[in-house]
Amino acid sequence: MKPVLVLLVSTAWTLTAAQYYYQGLMDYLENRLLAIEDRMQFWHDQSHRYHTELQDFKKLTAETADGLRNEYGSMFKDLEGAAVRVDRVEREMDYVEIQTSPRACANKADKVVEQGVWGLEESRGEEEDDWEELHSRVSDCVEIISGIRSVKILKRAGGPKGMWSRDPRSSRVYVFNGTSGDVIYQFNSVQDFSRSPGVAGSTQIRLPFAWSGAGSAVYDGYLYYVQQEADTDLQVVKYDLMSGVVTDIAMFPVDSRACVYSLNPETVADLAADDEGLWLLFATSDSEPNINLAKMDPATLDIEQIWDTRCPRENAEAAFVVCGTVYVVYNTRLVSRSRIQCVFDVNDIVISEEAPLLYFPRRYGAHASLKYNPEEKQLYGWDDGYQIIYRVTMKRKLLV
């Protein structure tokens, strides 16, 4: 009987212990579920708050964007109006400067043109000899620059000063980096030059004599450049680009301290090529106020004729020759906008009405050199290390 009682008591105790254990487990699970529900409710409240805040932020952003869009439209209209006013002011300034600018260099032929002598043969009389003399001096080239219409910035290769040019009789391009040296860079075309990084990919040509200044010229397969050492006369060197030899050297009596352009003192003399041949721009001495022009025989380098252009050297930065007419470009020491302010025609045809004050498009700084290509009617400029191409428009001279 006792064993049965012990068994019953043991069983009852076991069931009670199990009941307590499962009850505690259920209580623990219930508490955990309640905590999870509270956390989920908290997350739900937070999400709702964030959603509300995002909605408000989206609305505020949309309103701000609309306001900015309206302000941008208003500002754009104001800028357009300002651009129109600036353009009008520039045109008015150009007009005033043209009206008040000094006459382009003109002399006896101008007076003959203004008096109508060219079209009145019956009134020649005693001036018939002068007429024949003036008419005989007129070349076959009858064009003058009427405008500089466009600009193409090709690339930037080299230092602030230098020169580059294209041979009018070929597609080759030649680059002179700096204002002195004995190495130049040759490219097969303008496209090859524009695609190359710097002067990489070029053919290097080492010259037998160092070049001085930014006044070299490439003409009909030959390179013409200035060579000068301290306290020596200026030498013009003719170099055959095909054979690589010097074919001629000409001495020119120029003061070693003189420079043809006051804003580019490194250029003692400037060689230029146009439809009519080879020209040299120079100053005989440092005290000479004007730029002189010499016509050279490209075959022998002989000087055929010399003129005083009456264009001042002061504030001149570069010049070029087109159809026997010299165009001198001026600037200021605090770099401004380059302009053609003095023109000299060796045939004495051009008058001030035909040669208005011309401005170059805005660029980076000041020209170190300008080289004219008569085949393309383009100017190759070097501006603060940038290689620039200007396209010019032409008109016929008054005589024709």
Whole-number pLDDT of residue 43: 87
Spatial distance between the Cα atoms of 168 and 152, rounded to a whole number of angstroms: 19
- Mean pLDDT over residues 357-371, rounded? 84
Residue 18: pLDDT band (50, 70, 90) is confident
Alpha-carbon distance of 190 to 201, in angstroms, equals: 13
Q: Decide: residue 382, CB within 10 A, 0-12 exposed, 13-18 middle, 19+ buried.
A: buried
Position 398 confidence tier, pLDDT thresholds 50, 70, 90 = low
pLDDT of 204-243, one tens digit each?
999 999 999 999 999 989 999 998 876 667 889 999 999 9
Element (DSSP H or E) covering residue 317: strand 316-322
In the β-sheet with 234-240, what is the strand arrangement from edge to edge? Answer: 217-219, 222-227, 234-240, 245-252
Distance CA 80, CA 6 (A): 108
24-38, 124-138, 376-390: the lowest-pLDDT one: 124-138
pTM of the model: 0.66
User: What is the fold, at CATH topology level, of the domain defined by 104-396?
Assistant: Lipocalin (2.40.128)
So what's the pLDDT on residue 104? 36
Residues 304-343: pLDDT tens digits?
999 999 999 999 999 999 988 999 999 887 777 889 989 9
Tens digits of per-residue pLDDT, 158-197? 889 999 999 888 889 999 999 999 999 999 999 999 998 8
User: What is the percentage of the chain residues whose pLDDT exceeds 90?
Assistant: 36
Extract the tokens encoding 361. Answer: 């498009």
- How much is the mean pLDDT over the chain? 81
DSSP letter string, 365-392: S-EEEEEEETTTTEEEEEETTEEEEEEE
Tens digits of per-residue pLDDT, 267-287? Answer: 999 999 998 889 999 998 888
Q: Assess contact for 350 and 319: CB atoms under 8 A.
A: no
Segment 287-307, tens digit of pLDDT: 889 999 999 999 999 999 999
- Give pLDDT, residue 6: 61
Nearest-5° Cα angle at 141, 140 to 143:
145
Q: What is the pLDDT of residues 111-150, one digit of tens each?
A: 333 333 333 344 444 444 443 444 444 456 778 888 887 7
pLDDT at 15 over 80: no
CA angle 315, 320, 322 (to 5 degrees): 140
Rounded to whole angstroms, how far apart are CA atoms 310 and 62? 67
Neighbours of 201 (CB within 10 A): 13
Q: Is 95 helix (H, G, I), strand (E, B) or coil?
A: helix
